[in-house]
Structure 1
Amino acid sequence: MTECYIAPPCLEVLRELYRDNDIVVVDKPAGLLSVPGRHPDNYDSALTRLQAIEPETRVVHRLDMATSGIMVFGLHADSHRALSRQFQDRLVSKAYVAEVWGELEKESGEVELPLRCDWPNRPRQMVDHEQGKSAFTRYQKMNSLNSHGRVWLEPVTGRSHQLRVHMAAIGHPILGCSFYAHEAARSAATRLHLHATKLAFVHPVTTKTLAFDCPVPF
């Protein structure tokens, strides 16, 4: 997102899935920023809405504005630090569901293509085998509800736009993607059909494993 971009207002509710004294888990709607942008008109976000309830709320990870689904936030410095470490060490289990252009031929597979920012066209990312950072995604074909493909995605790494770029790179761009889909795929949906449907991690204080599932809205 460039500095001059102003996000349209998001009128959907930020639904809480879980809250205790240490963390809060939410279902972020598509169209809502994860954190506020630099422009004053981009102040509304999942983080600022949660800080209106608990000012000490801290962001641990992000979802693209166009992506919906599960996010976890720390409610104090210690929980934020412990959760952030889990994400950095790739100890968190994450899964997404996407609706893509065309039916996948393989039942499952892996995409390992290094990514870097396409600076002249930022925030777009691009595959670059020389300067890109490693990016690894596992996918599994799902039963489709219509003529488009449906796929379960597990990002091993967490690069910006990783799932969008990887699916487009193998010829199955995500429907409604304004950055990487061709016109037919882009216009096939009114929003990006990418949803963070599952998140599992160790509670930063109780050390119990917590797992959350969130139904796909498309």
Structure 2
Amino acid sequence: MSTGEELYFSVSPEQDSFRIDRFLQIEMPDHTRSFLQKCIEKGDVLLNNQPVTKNTKVKSGDSVFFHLSQPEDDTAKPENIPLNIVYEDSSLLVVNKPKGMVVHPAPGNYTGTLVNGLLYHCQGRLSGINGVIRPGIVHRIDKDTSGLLMVAKNDYAHQCLAAQIQEHSFTREYEAVVYGHLKQAEGTIDAPIGRSKNDRKKMAVTTEHSKRAVTYYEVIEEYRDFSHIRCRLETGRTHQIRVHMAYIGHPLAGDPVYGPKKVIESLQGQCLHAKKIGFVHPETSAYLEFDSELPDYFLRFLAGLPQK
């Protein structure tokens, strides 16, 4: 086999009878189903050490092996991709990422990412701290989360912005739609997050090998079966809002990983938007704050919800 990453998954009871391509898409949300299906056709996926087709169904307790090939050259390439630039100067820019766009190249997604578009837009002038695959990227949001990201054009700006994230002085506000009604109109979730013991691709609230995670939430509006909420992050752990809201019994609508087994397919991923960011500018020391409109997919979903 060519060089790459070897991944192992165990099928949970909730995933019993899923097609293997759907199972892999849930476990590896940064990859498209078409890419995963091609990997299955190439023989890169084994179920209980046996080759499979994309229609093969998995059973609870099954073991899935996936060889994720690396290309010979993993340097991100510039691509002329339309970007929604909210702010830009010589040190940094703020971009509004659409739902469905991967932030940086990874196995299975070497083109069409935000980084590919940024390299073209900035003509390669991005910080190099995170290497050739993630130039300029100070923080990231999930593929199916929309919203604001700040990007550093040089290493000094990158270091200053990263320090603010580390010190929790960086403003991050999200809006989301979650299942059910919260007991309190506002509250704090202070629960550590680490890798799930059962599935290395998932995060979980756990005291083992975890880091403190704090999410502040408030209810904006209640619907019959859902609630529209605002979340402010003190920390920025992987999948933090998704894990925390599921932990208190209110997973995000459309979330294929932490939500109920019957996913709202029309949302094509979690209903989560990074609406506001604020930070101190590395050069001017001025505090800058940027807000964004809720995207169409979010507004359409809200408009279709039955009132309480």
Q: Give the aligned length.
A: 214
Q: What's 1:34 paired with?
A: 103
Equivalent residue in structure 2 for 1:122, among 200, 205, 225: 200
CA distance in 2, matches of 1:26, 1:3: 33
Query: 1:215 Cα deviation (Å)?
Result: 1.2
Query: 1:94 Cα deviation (Å)?
Result: 0.6
- TM-score w.r.t. the length of structure 2 is 0.64
* SS in structure 1 at match of 2:158: helix
In the TM superposition, 1:28-67 aligns within 5 A as 28-39=97-108, 41-54=109-122, 55-57=124-126, 58-67=136-145
Q: What's 2:94 paired with?
A: 25
Higher relative contact order (CA 8 A, sep 6+): 1
Q: Aligned-pair RMSD on alpha carbons?
A: 2.2
C-alpha spacing 1:185/1:112, structure 2 compared with 1 (3 Å): farther
1:203, 1:209 within 8 Å by CA — same for their partners in 2? yes
In structure 1, give the amino acid aligned to 2:89.
D
CA distance in 2, matches of 1:132, 1:143: 32
In the TM superposition, 1:1-218 aligns within 5 A as 6-7=31-32, 13-39=82-108, 41-54=109-122, 55-57=124-126, 58-118=136-196, 120-144=198-222, 147-184=225-262, 186-187=264-265, 189-217=267-295, 218=298
What CA deviation, in whole Å up to 9, does each residue of 1:31-56 have, x standing for no partner?
Answer: 111111134x4333112210112212
What CA deviation, in whole Å up to 9, does each residue of 1:35-81 have, x standing for no partner?
Answer: 11134x43331122101122122111000111110000011111111
Taking only the aligned residue pairs, the percentage that are identical comes to 31
Q: Which runs of 5+ in 1 are unaligned?
A: none
* SS in structure 2 at match of 1:204: coil
What CA deviation, in whole Å up to 9, does each residue of 1:160-213 have, x standing for no partner?
Answer: 011101000111100010110013454473331000000000111111111000
C-alpha spacing 1:167/1:127, structure 2 compared with 1 (3 Å): same
In structure 2, give the amino acid aligned to 1:18.
Y
CA distance in 1, matches of 2:264, 2:198: 22
Q: Which runs of 5+ in 2 are unaligned?
A: 8-27, 35-80, 127-135, 299-308
Q: Which is worse superposed, 13-22 or 182-191?
A: 182-191
2:187, 2:217 within 8 Å by CA — same for their partners in 1? yes
Kindly name which structure, 1 or 2, has the bigger radius of gyration based on alpha carbons.
Answer: 2
- TM-score w.r.t. the length of structure 1 is 0.89
In structure 1, give the amino acid aligned to 2:111.
Y
2:195, 2:209 within 8 Å by CA — same for their partners in 1? no
Query: 1:157 Cα deviation (Å)?
Result: 0.9
CA distance in 2, matches of 1:188, 1:105: 28
